[in-house]
């Protein structure tokens, strides 16, 4: 008796393990994994990242259904793999945190994107802030005709939009405890779920078309069946009355051995005659037909079940670079320009620098003597000192020769308020003020230059400056005193 009980336990155990093995194979096949056998070991490859993260180990997996097989993961009731599969199907996986481990060299990244012409990086500081995107793993089950197909979908949402790609090629590590913006994750889930509907639409339409054809055939068969029943109810009343009279006449003259047969026929005709006028029977058949059609449509319907089985939040750094640009060869750290630049290593997007002269993006970067970032087209030399300036700085020009001037080289005429270069500015020989040559006239006697208002008429009738006119008058006074 005890021996028989032991055999039953072993038998039940074998059946249970066969079911577990069958379940495991079907599970990974439904997830579109590569499944093969090597002796007693089941090899599973190309497993989705969603399941790998839930299980806590990347594929491939070597699975066995017998305990103790070397180099394999045992799959049995309560095993780690069994629990992972159960949680995956039930959508019970907790939110997983991953971090992409980027190793960014700021100098190298800047050199890739900027060609520094007349300047160099004096100092560089690197900072970062965390950004994240989410991966939502869904299992969509298509249930129909006692069959079930499962489709695994992994949808990535970044900055509120569905993006293509995966984590292949990125070095990821387990994420540390991080305060996650749950509202942002929720919005990402809504976006992913909306996209999922479009993703499974094609599969849904194919299965729907197959089931529709089968429903049409089944409904047609049901309608034909009940139409025959209604036809029997709605037969020719006069024909049945005539048949009944014929049978009654035949009974009058029938032989004894035929009486019983004729009576049965007559009874059947009478029942049919009663059915012809039975409205309840018609209603019953119509109701039964409606129920049967509805049941058939339910049987051939497509039931779609969507489950979120895993949410993975992947965070990564967005770097900020604070760099000090200075003219090549200049060691004074107080001279130059500080810039802030951001770099997203996931999208490879580097914040653009714009020319402060024309506003266009800068690739070939120059630093003007005024500290502005500029492109080569907006960089010109000052006509006086020769230093390179952008159009923003070189916005003055000499009214006499038209040469462009920097702020330090441009001289403002105190007479007309216009700018001139050093070659076209003179000192008023009377007042000592600087004036442009256009605001001064030459004295014919001393050849000095002065404003018009400082001129008078000399004894010989010529226009001379006040200095020469004063000297002339002083001479006259002295002549009279000693004459």
Q: What local confidence, expressed as pLDDT, does residue 330 receive?
A: 67
Q: What local confidence, expressed as pLDDT, does residue 15 receive?
A: 42
H-helix or E-strand containing 119? Answer: strand 119-144
CA pair distance 326, 338, nearest whole angstrom: 9
pLDDT in tens, 14-67: 446 677 888 888 788 867 788 998 888 999 998 877 788 778 888 899 999 888
Range with lowest mean pLDDT among 113-117, 192-196, 245-249, 320-324: 245-249
Cβ atoms of residues 44 and 61 within 8 Å: yes
Q: Judge whether residue 232 has pLDDT over 50.
A: yes
Helix (H, G, I), strand (E, B) or coil at 275: helix
H-helix or E-strand containing 305? Answer: strand 303-327
pLDDT confidence of 235, banded at 50, 70, 90?
low
CA pair distance 457, 464, nearest whole angstrom: 6
Domain ranges (residues) in the chain: 2-92, 410-483
Average of pLDDT values for 309-332? Answer: 82
pLDDT confidence of 404, banded at 50, 70, 90?
very high
CA pair distance 310, 331, nearest whole angstrom: 55
Q: Is the dihedral of CA 195, 196, 202, 207 positive or negative?
A: negative
Average of pLDDT values for 347-369? Answer: 87
Instruction: With CA atoms as reference, report the closest residue to 302 among 139, 146, 137.
Output: 146
Q: What residues does 343 pair with on adjacent strands?
A: 319, 350
Residues 6+ apart with CB under 8 A from 175: 96, 97, 98, 99, 313, 314, 315
Q: Judge whether residue 272 has pLDDT over 70.
A: no
In this structure, what is the dihedral angle of CA atoms 58, 62, 64, 68, given to the nearest 10 degrees?
A: -90
pTM exceeding 0.95: no
CA pair distance 360, 354, nearest whole angstrom: 5
Percent of the chain clearing pLDDT 90 (strictly above): 12
What is the per-residue DSSP string for 10-43? HHHHHHHHHHHHHHHHHHHHHTT-EEEEETTEEE
The mean pLDDT of the chain is 81
- Residue 277 burial (C-beta neighbours within 10 Å; 0-12, 13-18, 19+): exposed
Range with lowest mean pLDDT among 83-87, 88-92, 134-138, 157-161: 88-92
Angle between helices 256-276 and 201-233 (to 10 degrees): 130
Range with lowest mean pLDDT among 173-177, 351-355, 387-391: 173-177
Q: What local confidence, expressed as pLDDT, does residue 352 receive?
A: 84
Rg (C-alpha) for the chain, rounded Å, is 50
Q: What local confidence, expressed as pLDDT, does residue 76 receive?
A: 86
Q: What local confidence, expressed as pLDDT, does residue 12 receive?
A: 38
- 465-468 long-range contacts (CB < 8 A, ≥24 apart) are 465/429, 465/430, 466/430, 467/429, 467/430, 467/443, 468/443
- Residue 133 burial (C-beta neighbours within 10 Å; 0-12, 13-18, 19+): buried
Q: What local confidence, expressed as pLDDT, does residue 238 receive?
A: 55
pLDDT confidence of 101, banded at 50, 70, 90?
confident
Q: What local confidence, expressed as pLDDT, does residue 403 receive?
A: 92
In terms of DSSP bridges, do strands 119-144 and 349-350 run parallel, antiparallel, or are they unpaired? unpaired
Range with lowest mean pLDDT among 127-131, 211-215, 271-275, 441-445: 271-275
pLDDT confidence of 279, banded at 50, 70, 90?
low
Residues 6+ apart with CB under 8 A from 43: 35, 36, 37, 60, 61, 62, 63
Range with lowest mean pLDDT among 49-53, 106-110, 190-194: 49-53
């Amino acid at each position: 008796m005890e021996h028989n009980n032991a055999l039953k336990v072993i038998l039940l155990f074998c059946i249970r393990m066969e079911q577990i093995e069958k379940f495991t194979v079907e599970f990974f096949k439904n997830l579109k994994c590569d499944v093969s056998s090597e002796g007693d070991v089941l090899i599973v490859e190309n497993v989705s990242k969603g399941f790998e993260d839930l299980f806590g180990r990347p594929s491939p997996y070597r699975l066995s259904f017998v305990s103790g097989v070397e180099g394999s993961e045992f799959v049995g009731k309560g095993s780690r793999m069994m629990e992972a599969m159960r949680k995956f199907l039930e959508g019970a996986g907790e939110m997983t945190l991953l971090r992409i481990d980027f190793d960014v060299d700021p100098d190298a990244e800047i050199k890739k994107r900027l060609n520094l012409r007349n300047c160099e990086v004096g100092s560089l500081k690197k900072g970062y802030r965390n950004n994240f995107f989410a991966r939502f793993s869904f299992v969509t089950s298509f249930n129909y005709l006692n069959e079930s197909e499962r489709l695994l979908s992994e949808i990535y949402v970044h900055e509120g939009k569905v993006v293509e790609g995966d984590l292949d090629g990125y070095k990821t590590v387990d994420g540390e405890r991080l305060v996650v913006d749950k509202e942002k994750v929720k919005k990402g889930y809504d976006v992913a779920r909306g996209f999922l509907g479009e993703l499974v639409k094609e599969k849904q339409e194919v299965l729907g078309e197959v089931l529709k054809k089968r429903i049409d055939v089944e409904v047609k068969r049901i309608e034909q069946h009940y139409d025959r029943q209604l036809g029997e109810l709605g037969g020719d009343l006069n024909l049945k009355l005539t048949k009944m009279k014929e049978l009654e006449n035949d009974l009058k003259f029938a032989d004894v051995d035929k009486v019983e047969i004729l009576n049965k026929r007559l009874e059947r005709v009478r029942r049919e005659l009663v059915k012809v006028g039975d409205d309840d029977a018609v209603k019953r058949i119509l109701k039964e037909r409606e129920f049967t059609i509805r049941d058939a449509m339910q049987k051939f319907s497509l039931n779609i079940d969507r489950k979120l089985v895993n949410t993975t939040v992947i965070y990564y750094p967005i770097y900020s670079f604070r760099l000090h640009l200075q003219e090549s060869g200049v060691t004074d750290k107080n001279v130059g320009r500080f810039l802030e630049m951001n770099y997203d290593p996931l999208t490879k997007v580097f914040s653009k620098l714009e020319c402060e002269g024309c506003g266009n993006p800068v690739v070939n970067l120059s630093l003007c003597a005024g500290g502005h970032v500029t492109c080569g087209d907006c960089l010109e030399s000052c006509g006086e000192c020769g230093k390179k300036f952008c159009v923003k700085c070189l916005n003055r020009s000499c009214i006499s020769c038209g040469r462009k001037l920097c702020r330090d080289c441009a001289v403002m005429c105190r007479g007309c308020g216009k700018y001139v270069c050093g070659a076209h500015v003179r000192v008023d020989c009377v007042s000592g003020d600087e004036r442009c040559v256009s605001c001064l006239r030459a004295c014919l006697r001393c050849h000095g230059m002065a404003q018009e208002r400082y001129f008078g008429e000399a004894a010989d009738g010529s226009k001379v400056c006040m200095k020469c006119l004063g000297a002339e008058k002083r001479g006259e006074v002295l002549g009279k005193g000693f004459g």
